[in-house]
Structure formats: C-alpha cells, structure tokens
Amino acid sequence: MELQDKIYVAGHRGMVGSAIVRRLQKAGFNNLIFRTSAELDLTDQQQTKAFFEETKPDYVFLAAAKVGGILANNTYRGQFIYENLMIQNNVIHQAYVQNVKKLMFLGSSCIYPKMAPQPLKEEYLLTGSLEPTNQPYAIAKIAGIEMCDAYRAQYGCNFISVMPTNLYGPNDNYNPQNSHVLPAMIRKMHEAKIEGKSEVVIWGTGTPKREFLHADDMADACFFLMQNYNESGLINIGVGEDISILDLANLVKEIVGFKGSLVFDTSKPDGTPRKLMDVSKLHSYGWHAKIALKEGIENVYLTAQQQQLI
C-alpha cells in the first residue's frame, strides 16, 4: 500500500474497523474512505455498486458485519445469515468489478467445527459440525472465505481472508442483550459494584476456555498482512494462549473492583468448549501480539467509563 492509495474500511465505526482506521492513520494513511450504515446500506446491491463506481478504492478492509454473542446469534439467526451474506457478497463482487488491488475479508474463529482439535489450525475448516448456536453466522463467514478464494481462482483477484480470535477493545459493544462475553462481564461487574450488589451471575459453567486479542493488536496484524500475505485459504490472528471463563471472570472482578461473589448459571449454554487459535502460520510471517490481557482489560475498562459506555 502506498500513502496515496484510496483505502475503503467497511465497518469503520465498529470495534474492528475503527481499530484498523487508527492503525492506518498512525502509519500516515489519510486517503481513507468511510460510509456509515445510514449513508450506505451494504446489504443493498445497487447502493454498493454505485458506491464502488463512485469511489474506486485501491484497497478494501471488509470489517462490516452483523455480530453478537451467543444470545444474539441464537435469537436473530435469520438476520445473521442474511445480512452477513449480503454485505460480503456485494462488497467482494464490487471489489472485483472495480479492479480493487487487494481486499481483506475478516471472519471469526467460530468458523471452525465445534469439536475440532485444539489449537485450531487453518486446515480444520469444514472438517466437522459447527457450534449450533452460531451456525448461521459461521456459515456466512465460511461462504466469504470461499468467495474470496473462488474470485482469486477464476478472476485472479488478490482477496485474502483473516480469522481473528475473540476480540475486545475501544468501541466494543456493552449492550446486555447482544454483547460478547468480556464486555458483558465488565458491564455486569461494574454495575454490581456501583449498585452494591452481593453477587454477579455468569452464564454457563465457567469451564470453557477462550482466547482474547486486543483490537489494536488485531488491527496491527491486519495492517501487516495486507502488505505481506497474498495466499488463498485463510490465516488465523490470535495470541496463541487462552483462559477459562472462570479465571477471566475473576480477573475482571479484580480489575473492576467488585467485592461480591460470582455465581455460575449452569442452565445457560457454554457454547464451544474451547476456541484456541493455532497462530504458527502468522508467527512464521514474523508477527506477534504485544498487549497482555490484564493490561488490555484495564485500558478498555477505563475507556468504557470515560466514554460512558457502562
């Protein structure tokens, strides 16, 4: 990427897209193209076509998506598969039509089979059944990977797919109805501390393990891969280590300063038992995560309070 290149970041106001924007601007890239969802509906084929004809970007980071935690994924199953398929179909196809130099499609670790061996290697894709609670979302993301590869094979497009692990960071979603596990914990424990509650209820058994990557690390990896990775298939982005939900809850409790007890509601689903990324492929290119989990959570908790997100 050259500084004068036009770069379109789809989903620039979300946690992922905004982190990519910060990383690009830090490197001196200011010829950036944005549209809010109110200005451009990426699920609309004609709107997306007109946008690409007008702006003709050189590079595209496809971070726009319908996202949420277990509850949202399981409740809005139709919306999750429809909106994600439409967004990625429209953007990827128009990137081909307008001869975009390179496109990066961002997926999620939930594309892997529920009972895949750990850690998750890229070649485990499509080797088993998915986690039922987020299957519509996962299938949409798998379709995006396949579409990038198909356009690479048929048309010679340099479209790449990256699969970040669980992310957290600035501009995260703290809505109690559809947030992911870490921001949900932060909000619950912060509110319990403020209200003087004696306990906080956590979904599930506490035994599942999750890997967490700070959004700024993710954006740095995307920036690096956009310039150094040109393969078909996919590449994992993660830290290569995980933590149990129980240990995570205790870490958040310590950082927030909640003095009560934690109660695990075992009637609620755990989701996938473990989702640890194998990041040996990423490491072989020379990129490693830098932000430690405790430091990262401390920073996002402070930011969330300052921005009155919680």
Question: What is the sign, positive or negative, of the torsion defined by CA atoms of 184, 85, 235, 118?
Answer: positive
Q: Which residues contact 61 (CB under 8 A, 6 or more apart)?
A: 7, 8, 9, 10, 17, 20, 103, 104, 106, 222, 226
Burial of 46 (0-12, 13-18, 19+ CB in 10 A): exposed
Spatial separation of the C-alpha atoms in residues 236 and 292, rounded to whole Å? 18
- Distances in Å between the Cα of 7 and the Cα atoms of 50, 95, 126 are 17, 12, 32
Return the residue matching tokens 């990041």: 279
Annotated binding-site residues for NADP(+) read: 11-17, 106-109, 141, 164-167, 180
Annotated binding-site residues read: 11-17, 106-109, 141, 164-167, 180, 188, 203, 210, 270
Q: Catalytic: 137?
A: yes
Annotated binding-site residues for substrate read: 188, 203, 210, 270
Phi, psi of 76 (to 5 degrees): -105, 50
CA 78 from centroid of its chain's CA atoms:
20
Cis ω before 117 (30° cut-off from 0): no
137, 151, 168, 229: the active-site residue = 137
Residues carrying an active site annotation: 137
